[in-house]
Structure 1
Amino acid sequence: MELNKLPIFAALGQPTRWRTFELLLGKGEHGMLQGEIAKSLNVDKNLMSTHLKVLREAGLVASEKNGREVTYRVTPAVARETAATLLKAIDKS
């Protein structure tokens, strides 16, 4: 899979989005509700919605709506490819 890496690294370059990504990585396939993420990171729900949108548009997370609740999970294939890209860059240096 060839990724457009610029949006991914731009999304992860913002501290709250990086912390969100790390938090969701730890939750695996279970993911977390948007409100739980906001509470865990002490971020306003509306602002968290914006951050999650950026992560989703970059392909780093996927969302699943169930009624009024939205669960977010890391997209494993994109996370692996992003990690592989970083490792290749490190190996070249």
Structure 2
Amino acid sequence: MDKISALQVFEALSSSARLDTYLLLVGAGGTGIVAGELASRLDMAPSNLSFHLKNLAHAGLVTVEQEGRFQRYRANLALMRQVTGFLTDHCCGGHPEQCAELAAPATSANASPSCCEP
């Protein structure tokens, strides 16, 4: 991943609405969530959600699949792994063994490490 691509991801996630949307999709894992359900869970107007989903899709953070009349969105977890790899490529001045805590699962109450395991 290059710096410009990483910046595009960070810019997309800099909006509270987009970050909330992305976190919901990460939590849904490979199942994803249809747009109407996302709008309902986020208490957001469908037109407003559409704007944010287009931004996330443009950054590559979400994928969309047509299912009849519905559009199902999924988080692009592979891209997020690339972003975290980009951030940690030069960990500890070229001594990644000193950065073991980065390899450990997140311990935040909101973290869901099982969604991202290979």
Q: The TM-score by the shorter chain falls in which range?
A: 0.7 to 0.9
Distance in 1 (alpha carbons) for counterparts of 2:90 and 2:37: 34
C-alpha distance 26-67 of structure 1, shift in aligned 2 (>3 A)? same
How much has 1:91 moved relative to structure 2? 5.0
How much has 1:81 moved relative to structure 2? 1.2
**Higher RCO (C-alpha under 8 Å, 6+ residues apart):** 1
TM-score, normalised with respect to structure 1: 0.88
Q: Does 1:78 align with 2:79?
A: yes
Q: Which runs of 5+ in 1 are unaligned?
A: none
Distance in 1 (alpha carbons) for counterparts of 2:92 and 2:39: 36
Distance in 2 (alpha carbons) for counterparts of 1:62 and 1:72: 6
Considering only CA atoms, is the larger Rg found in Structure 1 or Structure 2? 2
C-alpha distance 35-79 of structure 1, shift in aligned 2 (>3 A)? same
Percent identity between the two aligned chains: 35
Q: Which runs of 5+ in 2 are unaligned?
A: 94-118
Distance in 2 (alpha carbons) for counterparts of 1:27 and 1:38: 14
Deviations 1:13-39 (A, max 9, x none): 000000001110000000000011111
C-alpha distance 23-91 of structure 1, shift in aligned 2 (>3 A)? farther
Q: CA RMSD in A?
A: 1.7
SS of the aligned residue for 1:71 comes to strand
Distance in 2 (alpha carbons) for counterparts of 1:37 and 1:9: 21
C-alpha distance 47-90 of structure 1, shift in aligned 2 (>3 A)? farther
TM-score, normalised with respect to structure 2: 0.70
Q: Does 1:47 align with 2:48?
A: yes
How much has 1:6 moved relative to structure 2? 1.5
